[in-house]
């Protein structure tokens, strides 16, 4: 199977698994909010977000190294998998004495009660352990080429989480504990199933590990730890600033509006999952550059067509997603949609660093973007509120893409169609401005600009599809 056919096939498989999982989660939102109070939901969300930060610290982002090194034919698969599991175990044991630090994460309830996450320390630690172990196993089966199993596993974990949530919340009434424990159980069940179905136990070596490979994998993954934390900061700092500098209602409206551009990021995540296992090949440098450039230009066309559609449908989206009190949030979507487009392109550029095993430049680019994001949030939010937060997000993602596009050229010069990309961005910017200004016949203008974006990118899109089908 050639690289184009492989990419097309994997993208389709991941799309089925990802979209199915996301739809199931959305359908359960009303159930969660009905079974738990706002305070309980807040604490549960705090636990999950704290775990999201602890996850790369405890795991040392070794899952990224597992898939990168596992894809290399010259590597012994058992060495890669064993090192992945050993790193998780060592990181977990080392982190145990630091549990008092959870006491610094405080929360206040609407009733005036105060607490800290130290109350949930063992629940958090169990969550981190199962999540890290499951991630290593799922990344390893991707490296083995079991993409269908990877997609099915995603659906299975989501389904089991829902079933267990119904059991723990409705039947047992475990509330916060039940909400988090259902995720822990689903991750544990997923790990067991992957071990049995993919016979992962065959890849565990009890002999002396390959320390040279271990050092190499850690050198690759360690820079991704602060990178992952900074990505998290970029994604959530605007909401934190809004809650602190404005009020929680503005933050809530902004968070709902943020879900529309997230759909663009969802498309990107599906593609990037497939892309990661397609870029490692034995082609010549010129063939790799051509492959990256062809796919990148087609990908950018898809991303900005979706972004343009998101801008046009921003009002409709908020009417569907939220009650009328949240409707004003549509004003954030046009800016955030363009930002999501640049975020998708920066994720594509990051794959150059991952292919070349240059994770330090990847971290530096993320740090650069995070500094811009935090600085602009502090500057713009006090005066412009949610619009300022959206503008800060847009600026940070543009900076991230430009940094990576320029810096990564020393490793692999991706040949972007700059003229088409620049005109597309300008058209979506005009579209966003007209959406916010609401001139007479604004809907007509939106349709015209959306059609123009489609026409401008359809040739690139058709050429890319033709290449995929021809080479498939």
Higher-confidence residue: 315 or 471? 315
Among the listed ranges 91-95, 122-126, 220-224, which one has the minimum average pLDDT value? 220-224
Q: What is the pLDDT of residues 406-442, one digit of tens each?
A: 988 888 788 888 899 999 999 999 999 999 888 888 8
**Hey, is 1 helix, strand or coil?**
coil
Contact of 324 with 248, CB cutoff 8 Å: no
d(CA 309, CA 305): 6
What confidence category does residue 1 fall into, taking pLDDT thresholds of 50, 70 and 90?
very low
pLDDT greater than 60 at residue 168 = yes
Higher-confidence residue: 255 or 135? 135
Contact of 236 with 49, CB cutoff 8 Å: yes
The position carrying tokens 């230009």 is 297
pLDDT greater than 50 at residue 55 = yes
What confidence category does residue 133 fall into, taking pLDDT thresholds of 50, 70 and 90?
very high
**Hey, is 72 helix, strand or coil?**
coil
pLDDT at 140: 92
pLDDT greater than 80 at residue 453 = yes
- Work out the number of other CB atoms within 10 angstroms of the CB of residue 106: 11
pLDDT at 13: 62
pLDDT at 241: 75
Contact of 98 with 168, CB cutoff 8 Å: no
What confidence category does residue 400 fall into, taking pLDDT thresholds of 50, 70 and 90?
very high
Calculate the average pLDDT of the chain.
81
Among the listed ranges 114-123, 317-326, 357-366, 398-407, which one has the minimum average pLDDT value? 317-326
User: Burial of 52 by CB count in 10 Å (0-12 exposed, 13-18 middle, 19+ buried)?
Assistant: middle
Sign of CA dihedral 89, 93, 98, 104: positive
pLDDT at 472: 46
pLDDT greater than 60 at residue 457 = yes
* Structure token digits, residue 459: 């040739």
pLDDT at 16: 61
Contact of 19 with 155, CB cutoff 8 Å: no
Beta-carbon-side half-sphere exposure of residue 376 (alpha carbons within 13 Å): 21
pLDDT at 426: 95
What confidence category does residue 449 fall into, taking pLDDT thresholds of 50, 70 and 90?
very high
* Structure token digits, residue 132: 């890290």
Residue 255 Cα distances to 4, 33, 325, 382, angstroms:
37, 16, 13, 18
Q: Give Dmax (Cα) for the chain.
A: 74
- Mean pLDDT, residues 231-235: 76
Contact of 250 with 326, CB cutoff 8 Å: no
pLDDT at 40: 74
pLDDT greater than 90 at residue 302 = no
Cα angle for residues 162, 166, 168 (degrees, 5° grid): 110
pLDDT greater than 90 at residue 188 = yes
pLDDT at 235: 72
**Hey, is 108 helix, strand or coil?**
strand
- Mean pLDDT, residues 341-354: 86
Q: Specify which of 86-90, 352-356, 360-364 reaches the highest per-range mean pLDDT.
A: 86-90
pLDDT at 433: 93
pLDDT at 205: 84
DSSP for 184-227, written as a single string: HHHHHHHHHHHHHHTTGGGG---S---HHHHHHHHHHHTTHHHH
Higher-confidence residue: 471 or 433? 433
d(CA 232, CA 267): 19
- Mean pLDDT, residues 54-62: 89
First to last CA, the chain: 8
Among the listed ranges 4-8, 295-299, 458-462, which one has the minimum average pLDDT value? 4-8
pLDDT greater than 60 at residue 3 = no
Q: What is the pLDDT of residues 377-397, one digit of tens each?
A: 989 988 888 889 899 999 999
The position carrying tokens 């492989």 is 6
Q: What is the pLDDT of residues 274-298, one digit of tens each?
A: 665 555 555 666 777 787 788 888 8
pTM to 2 decimals? Answer: 0.74
**Hey, is 66 helix, strand or coil?**
helix
pLDDT at 75: 80
pLDDT at 263: 73
d(CA 385, CA 235): 17
Among the listed ranges 86-90, 135-139, 191-195, 357-361, which one has the minimum average pLDDT value? 357-361
Sketch the domain layout of the chain as residue ranges: 16-222, 223-472
């Amino acid at each position: 199977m050639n690289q184009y056919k492989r990419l097309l096939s994997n993208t389709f498989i991941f799309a089925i698994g990802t979209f199915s999982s996301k739809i199931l989660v959305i359908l359960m939102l009303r159930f969660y909010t009905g079974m738990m109070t706002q305070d309980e939901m807040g604490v549960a969300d705090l636990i999950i977000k704290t775990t999201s930060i602890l996850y790369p610290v405890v795991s040392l982002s070794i899952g990224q190294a597992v898939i990168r090194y596992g894809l290399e034919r010259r590597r012994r698969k058992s060495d890669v998998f064993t090192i992945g599991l050993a790193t998780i175990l060592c990181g977990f044991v080392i982190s145990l004495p630091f549990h008092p630090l959870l006491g610094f994460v405080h929360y206040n309830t609407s009733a005036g009660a105060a607490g800290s996450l130290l109350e949930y320390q063992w629940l958090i630690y169990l969550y981190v352990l199962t999540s890290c172990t499951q991630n290593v196993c799922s990344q390893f089966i991707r490296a083995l080429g079991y993409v269908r199993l990877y997609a099915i596993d995603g659906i299975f974990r989501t389904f089991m989480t829902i079933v267990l949530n119904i059991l723990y919340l409705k039947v047992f009434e475990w509330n916060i504990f039940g909400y988090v424990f259902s995720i822990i159980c689903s991750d544990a069940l997923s790990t067991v199933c992957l071990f049995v179905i993919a016979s992962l136990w065959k890849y565990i070596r009890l002999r002396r590990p390959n320390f040279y490979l271990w050092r190499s994998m850690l050198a690759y993954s360690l820079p991704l730890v602060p990178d992952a934390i900074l990505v998290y900061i970029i994604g959530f700092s605007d909401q934190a600033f809004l809650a602190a500098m404005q009020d929680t209602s503005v933050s809530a409206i902004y968070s709902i509006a943020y879900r529309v551009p997230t759909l663009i990021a969802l498309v990107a995540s599906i593609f990037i999952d497939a892309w990661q296992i397609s870029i490692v090949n034995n082609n010549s440098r010129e063939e790799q550059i051509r492959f990256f450039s062809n796919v990148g230009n087609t990908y950018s066309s898809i991303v900005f067509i979706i972004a343009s559609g998101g801008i046009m449908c921003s009002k409709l989206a908020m009417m569907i997603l939220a009650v009328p009190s949240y409707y004003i949030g549509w004003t954030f979507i046009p800016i955030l949609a363009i930002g999501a487009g640049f975020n998708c392109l920066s994720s594509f550029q990051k794959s150059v660093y991952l292919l070349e095993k240059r994770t330090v430049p990847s971290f530096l680019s993320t740090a650069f973007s995070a500094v811009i994001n935090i600085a602009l949030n502090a500057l713009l939010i006090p005066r412009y509120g949610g619009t300022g937060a959206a503008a800060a997000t847009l600026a940070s993602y543009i900076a991230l893409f430009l940094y990576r596009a320029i810096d990564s050229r020393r490793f692999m010069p991706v040949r972007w169609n700059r003229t088409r990309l620049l005109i597309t961005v300008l058209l979506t910017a005009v579209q966003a401005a007209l959406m916010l200004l609401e001139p007479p016949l604004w809907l007509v203008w939106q349709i015209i600009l959306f059609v123009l974006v489609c026409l401008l990118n359809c040739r690139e899109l058709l050429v890319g599809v033709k290449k995929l089908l021809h080479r498939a």
